[in-house]
Structure 1
Amino acid sequence: MSVQTGESAAKALASDIKGKTVIVTGVSPGGFGAETARILALVGAKVVLAGRSLSKIQAAAQAIKEEVPNAELKQLILDLGSQKAVREAAAEVLKYDGPVDVVILNAGVMGTPYAKSPEGLESQLATNHIGNFLFTNLIMPKLLESSAPRVVSASSVGHFWGPFRFDDYGFEDGETYDKWAAYGQSKTANILFAVELAERYKNKLTVFSCHPGEAPTGLFQYMTKEDFEKFGDNFNADGTPKGDWIRTVEECTVTYVAAGFDQSIADKSGSYVKDGKVANEQAAPYALDKESAKKLWDLSEKLVGQTF
């Protein structure tokens, strides 16, 4: 599928999108989630706007309604950093009428200072992986009501910054914390989760992890002067991007639309998608390792205190 923006991709796939109920997480205005929600509503999807900030959800909803007055929207408070909050959000989804057809797990944090979740987990791992793992599994009954359900797990090229640290995923309780290794670990986890989820629900659920691309969004809010110097090949000292690697938000959403709705890749469940295409060769081998994927699933069940 050769398209330039998420909107053009959605229009090309409109017959596969119209009428579908889609949960999009992390819908802060100006980000990937809000733009994905907008273009899906534009072609007739029923969109659930999920995020931890009610004001940001409402702002995204208002912007969509101004463009698409008859858009069918729901709002869902979802704080992925708290397992209690995730359970509350999932309980609300389970009350919805009809199936949930697609979940686009866009929400996440990047390069945050060391912090712990309410359950005592390093916060990037808690938010980027554990919250998504728990939410997806808890709403599985609604997904399986759909005739062709999909889950899209947003990872990043940042998964190359670190494999999953099974022996020390908490960085010695913060003593050896490296925010970029922690981010890399969480993004590797997003890919491993997709691998094992696809395996466990073979022929019932289509799952993709993906790297949507890099665009200046709120995800960059924790970048410091030292970080821009560290990634000097990609940034100028003042934090402005250099080179041709940066894209627009509109361009990056192509991958979410393809992973969520493109029928031509439906038989590649468990794969890594980039630029709207299956791109397993562009993922780190450790991120697609099936044994690691199963091991992470078992650990994740332990960390949420529930088996699925």
Structure 2
Amino acid sequence: MTFDTSSTGESVATALASCIKGKTVIVTGVTPGGYGAETVRVLALVGAKVVLAGRTLSKIQATMGAVKKEIPGADLKTLILELGSQKSVREAAAEVLAYDTPVDVVILNAGVMGTPYEKTEDGLELQFATNHIGNFLFANLIIPKLLESPAPRVVAVGSVGHFWGPVRFDDYNFEDGKVYDKWLAYGQSKTANILFAIELAELYKDRLLAFSLHPGGAATSLNQHMTKEDYEKFSDFFNSDGTPKGDWVRSVAEGTATQIVAAFDPSIVGSNGSYLVDAKLAPEQAAPYATDKDNAKKLWELSETLVGQKFRP
């Protein structure tokens, strides 16, 4: 089976239904209208058991209600997860570890973009903390539950925005905001998503698959922190009203296709750790610093330091 830019999450899920039915999948970031919500819908459509993880119960319930209205028999459950708080991440992970069934796939879709400078309660720049450190900690804490599955996968949703900046290993906090650039910070966090998948795949090899991806640009709530000046700065990518434009634009349905491929396509099993774009493997489309194995190892060690815990098989 081959998928491409015309594929949608629903068409991919239908094609891979035999690989998805009955599987337990955690999807983070399920705000209505976004990639996560559509991922939940198409997985439920083909019989997956889906855990909707997010920081706001009302948004989780809104998505859950919409899915249940379309698919009354959908097997859904909620999980409160605030990725910017290591305490919340640990509480959510403890809840997952208490599940009486394995977790087959976790799709790390939640994130923030272009936020003003802010430090989390753990003392970390918000975008790096939310988009990478929270995901790093959550995925690693629930690995025992993933390894109960015969074919577990971790999917890190990155972005073409990783080209806006590498990981600043010696100054990930931007001198406590003194030299903060919200787009360099976003780039750093998205580069980290790709590097995380590479090192996770390296550490667990055949025991667990990990992939990263760029879903495409769609008008979702991820753009909520963008200003008129931002749209002017990125005029090659956005119209003045904030709607995306150009070759990178995908609908939410199309962007979701890449998540489903990364999570379930059996044809990519031999490419553990790879980056996907447009519902297919595309490692050549990632920046060299985002696929450097030394950088991946270095980021892993930094992340262990920042969460105060080592994670090794």
Fold conserved between structures, TM > 0.5 = yes
Cα deviation, 1:71-112, whole Å, max 9, x if unaligned, reads 111100000000000000000000001100000000000000
Partners in 2 of 1:14 and 1:79 — Cα distance?
Answer: 31
1:84 aligns with 2:87: yes
Aligned mate of 2:246, from 243, 247, 264: 243
In the other structure, the counterpart of 2:40 is 37
Partners in 1 of 2:140 and 2:163 — Cα distance?
Answer: 26
In the other structure, the counterpart of 2:299 is 296
Give the CA deviation at 1:246.
Answer: 1.8
Taking structure 2 as the reference length, the TM-score comes to 0.97
Give the CA deviation at 1:245.
Answer: 3.2
Aligned mate of 2:103, from 100, 124, 141: 100
One-letter amino acid matched to 1:37: V
Give the CA deviation at 1:244.
Answer: 4.5
One-letter amino acid matched to 2:12: A
Cα deviation, 1:24-59, whole Å, max 9, x if unaligned, reads 000000000000000000000000000000000001
In the other structure, the counterpart of 2:29 is 26
Partners in 2 of 1:44 and 1:171 — Cα distance?
Answer: 45
Taking structure 1 as the reference length, the TM-score comes to 0.99
Secondary structure of 1:203's aligned partner: helix
Give the CA deviation at 1:236.
Answer: 2.6
Partners in 2 of 1:132 and 1:244 — Cα distance?
Answer: 29
Partners in 2 of 1:238 and 1:49 — Cα distance?
Answer: 31
Matches within 5 A, 1:170-189: 170-189=173-192
In the other structure, the counterpart of 1:268 is 271
Segment of structure 1 superposing worse, 178-187 or 245-254:
245-254
- Runs (4+) of structure 1 moved beyond 6 Å? none
Give the CA deviation at 1:64.
Answer: 0.8
Question: Tell me, which stretches of 5 or more residues in structure 2 are unaligned?
Answer: none
Partners in 1 of 2:141 and 2:243 — Cα distance?
Answer: 40
The alignment covers a number of residue pairs equal to 308
Provide the aligned C-alpha RMSD in A.
0.8
One-letter amino acid matched to 1:168: D
In the other structure, the counterpart of 1:257 is 260
Percentage of pairs with the same residue: 73
1:71 aligns with 2:96: no
Give the CA deviation at 1:167.
Answer: 1.3
In the other structure, the counterpart of 1:147 is 150
- Indicate conservation of the 8 Å contact 2:154/2:211, yes or no: yes
- Indicate conservation of the 8 Å contact 2:53/2:78, yes or no: yes
- Indicate conservation of the 8 Å contact 2:219/2:243, yes or no: no
Partners in 1 of 2:157 and 2:298 — Cα distance?
Answer: 20
- Indicate conservation of the 8 Å contact 2:157/2:193, yes or no: yes
Secondary structure of 2:207's aligned partner: coil
In the other structure, the counterpart of 2:282 is 279
1:61 aligns with 2:103: no
Secondary structure of 2:78's aligned partner: strand
In the other structure, the counterpart of 1:125 is 128
Secondary structure of 2:122's aligned partner: coil
